[in-house]
Amino acid sequence: MERKAIHDQIGQVRLHGPGPSDVPDSVLEALSSKTIGHLDPDFLRVMDQTQEMLREVLRTKNRMTIPISGTGSSGMETLVANLVEPGDRVAVVRNGVFGGRIADEVSRFGGQVVAINVEWGRTVEPEQVKEALSSGDCRALFLVHAETSTGALQPQMKEIGQLAHEHDALFLVDAVTSLGGTEVKVDEWGIDAAYSGTQKCLSVPPGLSPITLNERAMDKLRNRRTPVQSWYFDLTMIEEYWNEGGARKYHHTAPVNMIFALHEGLRLILEEGLDAVFERHRKNAAALQAGLESLGFTYIVEKAEERLPMLHAVFLPEGADEGKLRKQLRAECSLEIGGGLGDFAGKAWRIGLMGHSCREEKVEALLRDIRSVIVQEHGGPSA
């Protein structure tokens, strides 16, 4: 088989799936900078700035705010490995694929999952959380802020955080899809630890998982009865490399160029301003929703105020063949969108407007392409 260089194999696909999202040119340039050492003074400065920007985007003062080497799931695994001890009871809200993945992680690390099962497409009620926590002695509550498999945004974050604290449980949050696309207020909401990913609304290639832990979470880590069950994700060691004033002690070689890319991605978001970024997501989401509904798509999430601005999970119009149309969009329009996951496989699309993919002209082009394949197949509502 002939092996061509990557440059000659990869086309200009527009990314409107559930991640990765389109990456701005300046982020790609940062990624292709000269590689330097992970202990080089220039790199240490970039690390400090990256942490500072992560704190701003996460709205936190937590000293322990760093990118974990690995995709979003590595942040999930880091929190579980460090904050769950064998035998700990951990409440996990399961209202989609990612809540299910967290429950799997918790049980693999020896935790006892107290599942709070919620119908897919819905969010959890504080009352249900209270009931689960009152049933006894949970060390932590895990919640997905933006469930990418169903398109649901969890409201009442602050109230749920308070409930966790009243029951002496850590409030642990998956902010993989929400960060950089809608408000995530770590300190104000009482979140004890959270993780995210780079390839969703931060519009950086996949490969890093920003995490943050407050002192309450760090106390739990420092007072463990057992060592952290993962060497690679052991924050007591990783801390000695990352934290300013620490020994900068080698643990594993930092993915230097990915951190350059994250630095540039965060810099762009803060330059635009968080509020402006969120407003751009809201506006474009409204335009996409109007366009999709006019074509006969319906939203999995019934409550309009609980729909994600950055991910539109929709059922196709009656009789449309989702797999065929999705392949056609990729082949004829160089457009990537996502299929349904789990319960919604074969029935739904997941259309992303994440970060740099969330621009007015991109939404217009996206709707034009979707309309053209739907109309071709059905002769449905024409433009």
Judge contact between 366 and 16, C-beta under 8 A.
yes
Shortest Å distance, C-beta 23 to ligand PLP: 14
CB-nearer residue toward ligand PLP: 235 or 311: 311
CB-nearer residue toward ligand PLP: 106 or 295: 106
CB-nearer residue toward ligand PLP: 51 or 71: 71
My answer on whether omega of the bond before 20 falls inside 30° of 0, hence cis, is yes
CA separation for the pair 54, 267 (Å, rounded): 10
Shortest Å distance, C-beta 206 to ligand PLP: 5
CB-nearer residue toward ligand PLP: 295 or 299: 299
CB-nearer residue toward ligand PLP: 179 or 370: 179
Shortest Å distance, C-beta 147 to ligand PLP: 6
Query: By beta-carbon distance, which residue lies closest to ligand PLP?
Result: 72
Exposed, middle or buried: residue 253 (CB in 10 Å: 0-12, 13-18, 19+)? exposed
Which residues on adjacent β-strands are paired with residue 208?
69
Q: Tokens standing for 354?
A: 């994440």
Shortest Å distance, C-beta 304 to ligand PLP: 20
Judge contact between 35 and 171, C-beta under 8 A.
no
CA separation for the pair 131, 267 (Å, rounded): 42
According to DSSP, the β-strands at 170-174 and 138-144 are parallel
CA separation for the pair 323, 18 (Å, rounded): 16
Judge contact between 204 and 173, C-beta under 8 A.
no
Shortest Å distance, C-beta 71 to ligand PLP: 3
CB-nearer residue toward ligand PLP: 194 or 367: 194
Shortest Å distance, C-beta 194 to ligand PLP: 11
Site for ligand PLP, rule CB under 6 A: 19, 71-73, 98, 144, 146, 148, 174, 176-177, 197, 206
